[in-house]
Structure 1
Amino acid sequence: MVKFSKELEAKLIPEWKEAFVNYWDLKKQIKRIKLSKVPKQTHQAAGGDFGFSIFDSLGFFLKKFACSEDNITNIIKVRKKTIKGSGEEIYETELAQLFSEEDEVRVFFARLDEELNKVNQFYTRQEGEFVEKGETLNKQLQILLELKQIISDRRRKNSPSSKGSNHSNTGSFPSPTRDSDYSSVGAENFGDSDETNSEISQTDEVISTLERNGVSFVNSTTMSKAKKGLKPKMAMRIDPTRAITAITSMLWEDLVNNPTGDFIHKRKIQCAEKMIRSAFVELYRGLGLLKTYSSLNMVAFSKILKKFDKVSCQKASGNYLKEVKRSHFVSSDQVVRLMDEVETIFTKHFANNDRKKAMKFLRPQQHKDSHMVTFLVGLSTGCFVSLFCVYAILAHLCGIFSASNEPAYMDSVYPVFSVFALLSLHMFMYGCNLYMWRSTRINYNFIFEFSPSTALKHRDAFLISASLMTTVVGAMVLHLLLRAAGFSPGQIDALPGILLLFYIALLICPLDIFYRPTRYCFIRVIRNIVCSPIYKVLLVDFFMADQLTSQIPLLRHLQTTGCHLFARVLKTHHSEACHSGRLYMEITYIISFLPYYWRAMQCARRWFDDSDVNHLANMGKYVSAMVAAVARVTYSRQHDNLWLAMFLISSVVATAYQLYWDFIKDWGFLNPKSRNPWLRDDLVLKNKNIYYMSIALNVVLRVTWIQTFMHFKVGHVQSRLLEFLLAALEVIRRGHWNFYRLENEHLNNVGHYRAVKTVPLPFRENDSDY
């Protein structure tokens, strides 16, 4: 049977951990009560004669026997007080009977009261926030429904069937279909006075709808301007007696400021509906978490009081549990009622009265770990190891790395295989990250805003990595076998390129195979990165952009592979152009600083959205990295003292900048006032030495660029292998960095009790006059 302490640790909400009852601290206090009884019994047995020891032992066993009797006594009094002003209820316990361990018992109940008050106040505060969110969402939904009704009525009035033969010029208006279809409506015939009056009356209806939701207009010339076909300048005042919700700026311009034009679009209404639906889903999830919070804490109080009764041989749990059950976090039924209301509303308005469909949104089922995935991971790993051994033997027998064969093989075949190797290594490190995040209860799905039902698990990541490398090494073995069979290099060197095209086709495959939600999420994130700063930057976007900054060698190998593929397709066979020339250098420069440029543009967009100067400082880090990358590429081609000095200065500055940002901003370390020396106050891992070793390892792996100007005298193959080793070390460093970056983000969420995603709403509240 699992102990409750382990069960509580496994089921509690990580972001609310500090708000849960401190069950482990209360257990320690009970142990102190138990230990305080032992010295007195031992002293009496050792200090008296043999006769007294017998009677003492007999009394001890009689006392133990009495503990098992149901003699309930009122040994404590729990009083509830209400704080004036705030209205908060606090509990205080007084001992109505003297204990032999009175000091320890008094401390225990004082701590128990603190925990009860903490739980009760947190629950009350969270409940109030969720109730307020529920009221806001009801207003949002009401506005949406009324706007949809207006659009439906307007389209019905403007349809050709309702206008008759006198309005034949309005054939551009779409015919009405169902209420959920809200197409744009044109206004080509604004010169017709009947249509103008119709538009004005519809504008009156829109304005009256907004006024019913708390928006009123103080400018008396508004309607006169509307009747003249002018764009009115609206003045809106807020009703102080109620929390009103005004139209968002996008819909405001379409619905009010342009009453005679094409003022509504189907896509905007659908977007607003999707936002409100997502907000209802998050509200329901938050209510479920709060319900779990209440039940777990109730069980925790019950368990700890039973332990106290067992140790003290008293019956205090009955009286105290009565007060616990009367407290707000147990007795309140607002959460249950609000959950029922959300289910009803969601089923009616977002699931076409299909409760089963609604529950798929509100309570998504997580896929259980499959033993088949574990089996396939082991099978793929074994195949990879076996095939790699075969490849090593064949490469040695064929003399593929000899002086006569190495240039052609390393220039045409090596780049594409190294792409897959680095990609597989990165996926393996991501699988390790997922395993560690899950083991340490870091809620990575919530941080990345992934759906728990489709998000990758660590076994899935390991399966992708192992299957990818098995396929690649198998292709490498096949390439050597065909080469040994007498096929010309021109025929078989296209095999790696074909494999690359196959995986690209698999990535964009629309069929629901091989983790389609994950593949499409990856494509969407890459699109957001490439189009920076057009899209709003989410955490998963800049997290993935950081991964790309560690995969610059992979991008360079893709450049070489693409060049060779195009050369073969066009039958030019000028492979030397893929490794030298002006165009090659220009593309190399672009690839070297492009990931840093994307990340810098993301920082600029976040600064524009949040007005936080830290984003500009972070952008400076990537600008310095771009300068260092350009200097490094130039020095690799021009070995002179000027570029050496520029390379060293820019690299040292960029590395110092990056280390500062890693340790202080991304990881939250190097805090001299922390209770954990030079770390941070809160740590997920129990062993502090791991953090110190991680800091040292990150420093070492950040300065691997030093080998660039050392000019090791090695052959072409050894040079390429050294390049691959350094690229692999950078991928490992990034995987190592990922864990602490998300740990710091998780602890920030814990510090602010953020367990539910905040969904932006289409209709926002206004606090001041326009």
Structure 2
Amino acid sequence: MKFGKEFTSQMVPEWQEAYMDYNYLKGVLKDISCFKKKNAPLPEVAATPNGSLKRRISMYRAFSGLQNRFSFKGSPDRTDNEDEEVILVSSLQQEGSQGHHQTMFLMSSEQGGEYEMVFFRRLDDEFNKVIAFYKKKVEEVKDEADVLSKQMDALIALRIMVDKPSIGMPSDQVMMDDDSTLSPGSVVPTHIRSPGGSHMEAIEEVEMTGEEILEEESTSGNRDKEKRNLMRFRPAPIEILDNVKINIDPATPISTFKNVIRTSKANSKFSKDELKKAEEQMKTAFVEFYKKLRLLKSYRLLNVLAFSKIMKKYDKTTSRKASKSYSDMLDKSDLGNSDEVNKLIERVEVTFIKHFVNGNRRKGMKHLRPQAKRETHRVTFFMGLFSGCSIALVAAIVVAVRAQHLLEHKDRDKYMNNIFPLYSLFGYIVLHMLMYGANVYYWKRFRVNYPFIFGFKQGTELGYKQVFLLASGLSVLALAASLFHLDMDMDPKTGSYETVKELIPLVLLFVILLITFCPLNILYRSSRFFFLRTAWHCLCAPLYKVTLPDFILADQLTSQVQAIRSLQFYVCYYVWGNFKTRSNTCQDSKVYKILYIVVAIIPFWSRFIQCLRRLFEEKDSMQGLNSLKYFSTIVALVTRTLYDQKRETFWKVMAASTSGITTIANTYWDLVIDWGLLQRNSKNPWLRDKLLVPHKIVYFVAIVLDIILRLVWMQLVLEFEELPHLHKKAFVAIVACLEILRRGLWNFFRLENEHLNNVGKYRASKSVPLPFNYDEDKSM
């Protein structure tokens, strides 16, 4: 792989604009090369045929090895300008703050020198851009390191307050009061920083003598020495907790209610539960901070390598020796010799291993640097196997239907009304998974950082092959079951169908639920639990703080209304219906009709409540408008369902009007707000300034498809002429599948827009809430 492609592939996607523009500089060098070729002098005709005399003589020289170890000053091959200075790099201090590097090209008078001046001018711009961004990020991590240091001081003081360790210290050094709590006045403070102290030094100094005590105990049996070591042990000052409030985000709906009811008073007692939650939050904060440091280190090294490569390419193109001078400047700059990030990385490793994994380095590094999943041929093999089996089963079902003339069977309606909805549920799920797998493939192809956007734990996100494997495996089970269940003939003796066959859909559903909730570490447990946790947050909205995965999943569920209604039908059919005769009467009951509306509006209601919570928390008026959009969708869904049940003119007019309003609102929101398109004054007319897909026609096709697919479900209200020989249940299923396809299309451009927003803000790591709030007024 060429360096340009490797350079692009290793970039932090959200920082892409802050990297050196290697391709542009490479293009400038290409212009220089073309100019030199056009203006190169014609070679003189050699007097000696079949090559020059110089080449023939060189064949008789002594061989001095594959590497040129010796150089002779009098060598005729040495060019005259080898030791001439080509560039002069200087650092200019600009008004305020950061140094500005400027390269002076000393041979601009030569032919084609203006091209090289353009190259060095752009090279300076790129270098100053990179170093300014790097310095800014270094200052940010320094400030964050100071915050984590203070958080660690509070955490260790909280550990002492809760655990009350005596660790064999003299009684006059650790005193217990009557309530058997550690007396704050009995602990000698150790949080004293030197003026030149670095950012994580306080963390390292908190438990100063842990290793020293063990080492000296093992080397000396002197009792007095052990006592002196114990006297030197100074735990973190508990007085820190006087100026600290524990800020633990509610993790359950019950704790949310407690947090609302509880008054804002200082904690008088600390529990082990609070300590455990604080430790978990600090552990997560350190992992994210370490990830940010590694990204910054990678950014620095990759840019240094890029500048080195482009200068070597310049030397090769122009036959000059300028890379040495530029490399010397690069090594002396903050980008080349800065070790602040490396020191922070080392200190974070030491701190994390010592305080969160009991000194187990292997375990600590496993948390800090989770290994990426390895692609295995097993996944590819089974994905291909299940996909082939699914295609074969579809063909077998088609052949069976045609051979047995099932479309003209007298019990066709009974089958479509009772059995088809049971299996259509699995079809909806498989189709949605296929669309998600396709999205993952294209997100990865166009470098959309979907694991970061969704908040997946590093190394646990599913690739498109894993998603396709799960989808094809489920499709094999569902298609095989439906093929076995493709029977419309009732047993004439018993007057019923086979019980085993009629229970197949219920057993299959039970197996799927069992796998989904299985606690064993099989079949991508981390992803399954992530899905279940997010689904629970959607169900319990607004009791949880709304995150992007929560409202994205709720949006997916709004496209699975028919799947949710199929689950309701399972209860109706197998509990109140007679599955042996494929009949049920519960669909005619008022309770079922009411629940038919309620279960359909659950995902829309969840999004409505999520928008209201975000409106109150973030004070964003757009969330208020978004909530109105979902409320209008709920009204349209209710009126449409009532019209489907009552078939009255009034409800038809209401359904058509409300559906039309919500269709226009949702379509506008899709294209303008969620996708960020239809911007008149953008660089790409009617699209947006930044596009990831190189072909603009893709966006216009997506716009048209979204509008058409939004209008398709209006067919259910306006009652256009249906396709001949197509059952109503099948038509509803087709419309539901088209909505799932529209949602899959929406997903790609929604996350593309989210990714570009992160890129615009250079947001490559998530912010983690910290457990402690310092009261600055009291601490001063």
- 1:626-665 alpha-carbon deviations (Å, 9 max, x no partner): 0110111112123333222211211111111111111111
Summarize the Cα distance change of 1:294–1:639 in structure 2 as closer, same or farther, 3 Å threshold: same
- 1:316-342 alpha-carbon deviations (Å, 9 max, x no partner): 111111111111011011111111101
After the TM superposition, which residues 206-245 of structure 1 pair with which residues of structure 2 at under 5 Å, given as runs? none
After the TM superposition, which residues 63-74 of structure 1 pair with which residues of structure 2 at under 5 Å, given as runs? 71-74=82-85
| Counterpart contact for 1:667–1:744, Cα < 8 Å | yes
Three-state SS of the structure 1 residue aligned to 2:422 is helix
| Counterpart contact for 2:93–2:99, Cα < 8 Å | yes
2:771 is the counterpart of 1:762: yes
CA distance in 2, matches of 1:645, 1:710: 12
Which residue does the alignment assign to 2:34?
35
CA distance in 2, matches of 1:725, 1:705: 10
CA distance in 2, matches of 1:360, 1:482: 57
Which residue does the alignment assign to 1:91?
101
| Counterpart contact for 2:25–2:310, Cα < 8 Å | yes
Residue 250 of structure 1, CA deviation: 6.3
Which residue does the alignment assign to 1:597?
605
Summarize the Cα distance change of 1:34–1:156 in structure 2 as closer, same or farther, 3 Å threshold: closer
CA distance in 2, matches of 1:497, 1:715: 31
| Counterpart contact for 2:454–2:548, Cα < 8 Å | yes
After the TM superposition, which residues 554-573 of structure 1 pair with which residues of structure 2 at under 5 Å, given as runs? 554-567=563-576
Which residue does the alignment assign to 2:111?
100
2:734 is the counterpart of 1:725: yes
Which residue does the alignment assign to 1:173?
none
Report the RMSD for the aligned CA atoms in angstroms. 3.3
CA distance in 2, matches of 1:452, 1:484: 54
CA distance in 2, matches of 1:67, 1:393: 81
After the TM superposition, which residues 170-249 of structure 1 pair with which residues of structure 2 at under 5 Å, given as runs? 198=178, 246-248=244-246
Residue 208 of structure 1, CA deviation: 10
Which residue does the alignment assign to 2:252?
none
Residue 96 of structure 1, CA deviation: 2.1
Which residue does the alignment assign to 2:700?
692
| Counterpart contact for 1:400–1:409, Cα < 8 Å | no
Residue 211 of structure 1, CA deviation: 11
2:151 is the counterpart of 1:140: yes
- 1:721-746 alpha-carbon deviations (Å, 9 max, x no partner): 21111111100100010000000111
Summarize the Cα distance change of 1:713–1:331 in structure 2 as closer, same or farther, 3 Å threshold: closer
> What TM-score does the superposition give when structure 1 sets the normalisation length?
0.83
Which residue does the alignment assign to 2:562?
553
Summarize the Cα distance change of 1:249–1:525 in structure 2 as closer, same or farther, 3 Å threshold: closer
Which residue does the alignment assign to 1:585?
593
- 1:214-265 alpha-carbon deviations (Å, 9 max, x no partner): xxxxxxxxxxxxxxxxxxxxxxxxxxxx9x9843356999997463xxx222
Residue 66 of structure 1, CA deviation: 7.1
| Counterpart contact for 1:510–1:516, Cα < 8 Å | yes
CA distance in 2, matches of 1:257, 1:203: 18
Question: Match of 2:453, as an amino acid?
Answer: I
- 1:572-597 alpha-carbon deviations (Å, 9 max, x no partner): 97944233221121011112222110
Which residue does the alignment assign to 1:308?
314
Three-state SS of the structure 1 residue aligned to 2:661 is helix
| Counterpart contact for 2:154–2:244, Cα < 8 Å | no
| Counterpart contact for 1:67–1:310, Cα < 8 Å | no
CA distance in 1, matches of 2:243, 2:760: 30
Which residue does the alignment assign to 1:607?
615
Residue 85 of structure 1, CA deviation: 2.4
CA distance in 2, matches of 1:312, 1:30: 9
Summarize the Cα distance change of 1:484–1:439 in structure 2 as closer, same or farther, 3 Å threshold: farther
- 1:182-207 alpha-carbon deviations (Å, 9 max, x no partner): xxxxxxxxxxxxx9x74598675599
Q: 2:714 aligns with which of 706, 712, 715?
A: 706
Which residue does the alignment assign to 2:467?
461
Residue 14 of structure 1, CA deviation: 0.6
Summarize the Cα distance change of 1:575–1:73 in structure 2 as closer, same or farther, 3 Å threshold: same
| Counterpart contact for 2:243–2:776, Cα < 8 Å | no
Q: Could you say which structure has the higher helix fraction?
A: 1
Which residue does the alignment assign to 2:745?
736
Residue 462 of structure 1, CA deviation: 0.3
2:626 is the counterpart of 1:628: no
| Counterpart contact for 2:453–2:548, Cα < 8 Å | yes
Q: What percent identity do the matched residue pairs reach? A: 34
CA distance in 1, matches of 2:491, 2:469: 32
Which residue does the alignment assign to 2:419?
413
Summarize the Cα distance change of 1:694–1:67 in structure 2 as closer, same or farther, 3 Å threshold: farther
2:130 is the counterpart of 1:119: yes
Summarize the Cα distance change of 1:407–1:210 in structure 2 as closer, same or farther, 3 Å threshold: farther
| Counterpart contact for 2:245–2:267, Cα < 8 Å | no
2:76 is the counterpart of 1:78: no
Question: Match of 1:335, as an amino acid?
Answer: V
Which residue does the alignment assign to 2:270?
264
Which residue does the alignment assign to 1:21?
20
After the TM superposition, which residues 374-413 of structure 1 pair with which residues of structure 2 at under 5 Å, given as runs? 374-413=380-419
CA distance in 2, matches of 1:625, 1:256: 43
Runs (5+) with no aligned partner, structure 1: 52-57, 163-194, 214-241
CA distance in 1, matches of 2:432, 2:453: 20
| Counterpart contact for 1:398–1:484, Cα < 8 Å | no
Which residue does the alignment assign to 2:215?
none
CA distance in 1, matches of 2:573, 2:132: 67
Which residue does the alignment assign to 1:151?
162
Summarize the Cα distance change of 1:123–1:282 in structure 2 as closer, same or farther, 3 Å threshold: same
Question: Match of 2:295, as an amino acid?
Answer: L
Which residue does the alignment assign to 1:131?
142
CA distance in 2, matches of 1:536, 1:657: 26
CA distance in 1, matches of 2:464, 2:728: 34
Summarize the Cα distance change of 1:91–1:319 in structure 2 as closer, same or farther, 3 Å threshold: same
After the TM superposition, which residues 500-519 of structure 1 pair with which residues of structure 2 at under 5 Å, given as runs? 500-519=509-528
After the TM superposition, which residues 470-489 of structure 1 pair with which residues of structure 2 at under 5 Å, given as runs? 470-480=476-486, 488-489=496-497
Which residue does the alignment assign to 2:762?
753
Three-state SS of the structure 1 residue aligned to 2:102 is strand
Which residue does the alignment assign to 2:220?
none
Three-state SS of the structure 1 residue aligned to 2:101 is strand
After the TM superposition, which residues 229-378 of structure 1 pair with which residues of structure 2 at under 5 Å, given as runs? 246-248=244-246, 257=266, 259=268, 263-378=269-384
| Counterpart contact for 1:599–1:622, Cα < 8 Å | yes
Runs (5+) with no aligned partner, structure 2: 46-51, 56-75, 194-239, 250-258
- 1:266-295 alpha-carbon deviations (Å, 9 max, x no partner): 222111111111111111111111111111
Residue 370 of structure 1, CA deviation: 1.1
- How many residue pairs match? The answer is 684
Summarize the Cα distance change of 1:690–1:206 in structure 2 as closer, same or farther, 3 Å threshold: farther
CA distance in 2, matches of 1:459, 1:4: 28
Which residue does the alignment assign to 1:110?
121
Residue 308 of structure 1, CA deviation: 1.2
Question: Match of 2:568, as an amino acid?
Answer: Q
CA distance in 2, matches of 1:212, 1:619: 51
Summarize the Cα distance change of 1:526–1:380 in structure 2 as closer, same or farther, 3 Å threshold: same
Residue 419 of structure 1, CA deviation: 0.3
Question: Match of 2:20, as an amino acid?
Answer: V
- 1:51-109 alpha-carbon deviations (Å, 9 max, x no partner): 9xxxxxx9xx9xxx9798882321111001222422x1110111223331121111111
- 1:728-769 alpha-carbon deviations (Å, 9 max, x no partner): 110010001000000011111111111111111011355668
Which residue does the alignment assign to 2:255?
none
| Counterpart contact for 1:412–1:561, Cα < 8 Å | no
| Counterpart contact for 2:11–2:299, Cα < 8 Å | yes
Summarize the Cα distance change of 1:613–1:33 in structure 2 as closer, same or farther, 3 Å threshold: same
Residue 686 of structure 1, CA deviation: 0.8
> What TM-score does the superposition give when structure 2 sets the normalisation length?
0.82
